[in-house]
Amino acid sequence: MTKPLPAALNPARLTALAAEHGTPLWVYDAATLRERAVSLKRFDVVRFAQKACSNVHVLKLLRAEGVKVDSVSRGEILRAIAAGYRPGGDEIVFTADLLDHATLATVVEHRVPVNAGSIDMLHQLGAASPGHAVWLRINPGFGHGHSQKTNTGGEHSKHGIWHADLGAALAAIREHGLKLVGLHMHIGSGVDYGHLAQVGQAMVGFVKQAIEAGHDLHAISAGGGLSIPYRRVDDRVDVDHYFSLWDTARREAEGLVGHAVTLEIEPGRYLVAESAVLLAEVRAVKSAGAKRFVLVDAGFNELMRPAMYGSFHAMTLLPRDGTQRPLRDCVVAGPLCESGDVFTQAAGGEVLTRELPEAEVGDLLVIHDAGAYGASMSSNYNSRPLAAEVLVDGDASRLIRRRQTVEDLLALEL
């Protein structure tokens, strides 16, 4: 079954918002964000990987639902603080594989716990801030992902402390008097239940190693990676099954450490992907040989996922005159000066077609499931200002990021 849009993002609503704010436009649905947060309540801590969508108002909304946050840059830490997250406790954790100078200063200033993906981070942090709270992100030697680019475990990956170096990392923690909070793994984006039992068991082995080396710890993190059904609604991940696999690992860890262990999860995509659409207007329709091109006013500078990974996003065409149109195969593409600026493409760049109602200039194109790695991966390529973002909450809607202007861009240079 193809996927319906969130109830609040109905065609009339989207058409009105596009008329009010212009296109391209990101539209988020608060109800979906809340519903996804609530569905993960069995985990002790749900920590949002804000790289998926770092708008301060989305962060505020998730914080109100009890969701904590993972930040991967100084900018993300400052965004979290701007959204009301309190640094110094466990509300914000900084995860990375290196510490640049400015970020090191910021984590020390705000006492943000650091999830270290390299031993150098431990030395640098230890020298600057003895006693600082740390997590260890471990690369268990295997991983998975919807694309090789999102597979973060194994020898090809720059992420995490290689499992064989865990002993050296624990020694660095001791050397600097750092405080170990917990162990973390994030081995990729995309769920594979068969794999998960293996990941859980690897985690238990690492906990054992830490305890045997004389450390105590209070938490384990399952990382992110929960998938969402981009193509078919029946592909939805079974959160209870996912929880039970990790809960088993947690209980074994508790047996080893001799006290309660908090189980964290760190989703990005799962919390936000389905909450938003990207709206674009059809501005030109043309043919090239047998191919029919529908050109819209959003490009890969807005939504990079199809160009970067060949990702599939469902699309709905809303004819401006409300008429029923015959279905036609078409290539959906954007305004950028590159042949790769195509929303319908395969991972290798092959241009694909999509069956949509015959498009005309002025129609609205709705690109679904755009809430994760959409606005947050946008760029100013071709000197295109960042698009506006709107949050719909029941009958209300408000602008949560104004559209950038060319003057904003030029201000950095002139």
The smaller minimum CB distance to ligand LLP, of residues 221 and 397, is found at: 221
Q: Half-sphere exposure of residue 210, counting CA atoms within 13 Å on the CB side?
A: 33
The smaller minimum CB distance to ligand LLP, of residues 70 and 297, is found at: 70
> Is residue 338 a known part of a binding site?
yes
- If one asks whether residue 49 binds ligand LLP (CB under 6 A), the answer comes out as yes
CA atoms of 88 and 29, how far apart (whole Å): 31
Residues 269-298 touching ligand LLP, rule: CB under 6 A, are: 269-270
The smaller minimum CB distance to ligand LLP, of residues 43 and 359, is found at: 43
Catalytic, 337? Answer yes
CB under 6 A: which stretch of 10-18, 34-42, 221-229, 289-297 binds ligand LLP?
221-229
CB under 6 A: which stretch of 8-16, 100-108, 121-129, 264-272 binds ligand LLP?
264-272
Tokens describing residue 51: 């790289």
| 331: nearest Cα among 348, 308, 315 | 315
Residues 306-365 touching ligand LLP, rule: CB under 6 A, are: none
| Shortest distance in whole angstroms from residue 76 CB to ligand LLP | 12
Are 303 and 257 within 8 A, CB to CB? Answer: no
Query: In this structure, which amino acid lies at residue 350?
Result: E
CA atoms of 83 and 87, how far apart (whole Å): 11
CA atoms of 381 and 373, how far apart (whole Å): 16
- If one asks whether residue 226 binds ligand LLP (CB under 6 A), the answer comes out as yes
Judged by CB under 6 A, which of 3, 132, 163, 186 binds ligand LLP?
186
CA atoms of 47 and 67, how far apart (whole Å): 6
CB under 6 A: which stretch of 74-82, 97-105, 219-227, 237-245 binds ligand LLP?
219-227
Q: 320 φ, ψ to 5°? A: -65, -25
The smaller minimum CB distance to ligand LLP, of residues 266 and 363, is found at: 266
The smaller minimum CB distance to ligand LLP, of residues 50 and 124, is found at: 50
> Is residue 267 a known part of a binding site?
yes
Are 121 and 99 within 8 A, CB to CB? Answer: yes
> Is residue 155 a known part of a binding site?
no
Task: List all residues 6 or more positions away from 72 whose beta carbon is below 8 Å from its beta carbon.
Answer: 49, 50, 51, 94, 95, 96
User: Exposed/middle/buried for 352, CB within 10 Å: 0-12, 13-18, 19+?
Assistant: middle
The catalytic position among 1, 288, 337, 411 is 337
For the chain, the distance separating the N- and C-terminal CA atoms, rounded to the nearest angstrom, is 52
Q: 39 φ, ψ to 5°? A: -70, -10
- If one asks whether residue 268 binds ligand LLP (CB under 6 A), the answer comes out as yes
| 305: nearest Cα among 328, 334, 264 | 334
DSSP state of 385: P
CB under 6 A: which stretch of 77-85, 106-114, 218-226, 395-403 binds ligand LLP?
218-226
From residue 67 to residue 96, the character string flagging contacts with ligand LLP as x (rule: CB under 6 A) and all else as - is ---x------------------------x-
Where do contacts with ligand LLP occur on this chain (CB under 6 A)? Answer: 49, 52, 70, 95, 150, 186, 189, 223-226, 266-270, 305, 372-373
Active site residues: 337
Residues of the binding site for pyridoxal 5'-phosphate: 225, 266-269, 373
